[in-house]
Amino acid sequence: MAKLPADLSGCEVRTALERAGFVFRRQRGSHLVLRREAPHARVIVLDHKIIRVGTLRHILHDAGLSPEEFLRLLGRD
């Protein structure tokens, strides 16, 4: 299992998810809601300066992405 970076911001996570086909839907406070139609998935990303690794793992689980796929989307493979 690949080690996830501990220095990602919410903006960087959002950008990587958009590369995976997610579309920004709405924001309420610091919570960004992104959706993907096929296969259907909805994730909530915190718009913080640093996203904790445990929170990032939960986001990836909801998105249906493996850590390796996510690192590839970030360009850190």
User: Do the domain assignments include residue 46?
Assistant: yes
Domain count, the chain: 1
pLDDT in tens, 24-55: 999 999 999 999 998 899 999 999 999 999 99
The overall average pLDDT reported for the chain is 93
User: Does residue 23 belong to any structural domain of this protein?
Assistant: yes
Does residue 2 lie within any of the structural domains? Answer: no
**CB 5 within 8 Å of CB 13:** no
- Quote the pLDDT of residue 36: 95
> Residue 64 belongs to a domain with what CATH number?
3.30.920.30
Share of the chain above pLDDT 90, in %: 90
Share of the chain above pLDDT 70, in %: 97
DSSP string, 15-60: HHHHHTT-EEEEEETTEEEEEETTTTEEEEEE--SS--HHHHHHHH
Where in the sequence is the domain holding 54, given as residue range(s)? 10-74
